[in-house]
Amino acid sequence: MKVAVVIPYYQRQQGILAKALRSVFAQQVAAQVDVIVVDDESPVAARGEVAHLPADQQARVRIVEQPNGGPAAARNKALAQVPADTEFVAFLDSDDTWTPDHLANALRALAAGHDFYFSDFYQLNQTVSAFERAGRIDPQRHARLHGEDHLHAYQADMQAQILGGNVIGTSTVVYRFGSFRSLRFREEFVYAGEDYLFWLDLTRLTDRIAFSAAREVVYGAGVNIFAGSGWGTEKSLIRLHYEMKYKKAIARLYPLTERQAEDNHQAVLALRRSFVADVLHRVAHRKPFLDVMRKQYDVDARSVLLFVPLAFGLVLRRGRAA
């Protein structure tokens, strides 16, 4: 079996990509594993990172360079480079690492007839796994694969799971690329939601999904739009903009139940208030905001057209709370 590992790469610190690649080449799996790294105009070049690997490992890494376009564009660039005889694709972000059994577990599940695989994992700086923290996937409610201790067939509504609080980590996913060669990430979602939308699109094409209750991936510290994007930071407004873009797309792209539509609507309202609050913070501290405001108008015009009444309501509520 042949597996292509897709790694979008943009980092500011040396050694991060090399660590991820070492975890790839430590996989204990009977398969040909090749890596496609898309250097998304990274400040620390991918070629320098790969140069530190042994020669036999360097030979299994293809580096593709492109102008900065974000993770969705980088992953799509890699998918376009996957050889025609490669059946499976695994995703790994450049600051994450796999446990040595990750690909072996995934390929056993996929060989059993599934098309889409994911696993439990540790989020950044966490000692409790993502499944446990979210409490949304109970392995006991899903049939165990024959002869396996921790591999299960997913037996619930995956769209509801993703929309209600997704716990699918991008770096845990392996899928049957040979059956879905035209599927791509939506590149217009640069900083939020592009992976969720890919999972939603994939689950509309297949319901043969398997997962592992084992913690097979550890998320690491690297460049991330969500890291350090808390209230009032330089990244916070752009993060809110792309989260709004994602939520608005959900209602447009997918058939939703009445409850899902209402939950999504409430999320849009909350993001709109948060966007206005962040702009007020920037006005008070003389920080720039007009560029993002223009982009926000195209995504959610009401954030701009209703800015004054929304801002007045926020100030009034804060006054009452005080």
Query: Each residue of 97-126: pLDDT tens digit?
Result: 999 999 999 999 999 999 999 999 999 889
Q: Residue 8 — pLDDT band, cuts 50, 70, 90?
A: very high
User: Which of residues 307 and 320 earns the better pLDDT score?
Assistant: 307
- State the number of CA atoms in the 13 A half-sphere of 312 facing the CB: 3
Measured in Å, how far apart are the chain's first and last C-alpha atoms? 63
Tokens 């897709």, residue?
6
Which two tokens mark 173? 């996913």
**Could you report the per-residue pLDDT of 170-185, keeping only the tens digit for each?**
999 999 999 999 999 9
pTM: 0.90
The whole-chain average pLDDT of the chain stands at 92
Q: State how beta strands 209-219 and 151-153 pair.
A: antiparallel
**If you average pLDDT over residues 16-28, what whole number do you get?**
96
Closest CA to 20 of 211, 229, 239, 170: 170
Q: What is the C-alpha to C-alpha distance for residues 143 and 278, in angstroms, rounded to an integer?
A: 45
Handedness of CA 263, 208, 169, 167 (dihedral sign): positive
Which amino acid type is present at position 286? R
**Whole-number pLDDT of residue 287:** 87
Q: What is the C-alpha to C-alpha distance for residues 103 and 217, in angstroms, rounded to an integer?
A: 11
Q: Residue 13 — pLDDT band, cuts 50, 70, 90?
A: very high
Q: Which residues pair with 175 in a beta bridge?
A: 89, 116
Q: Which residues pair with 210 in a beta bridge?
A: 117, 153
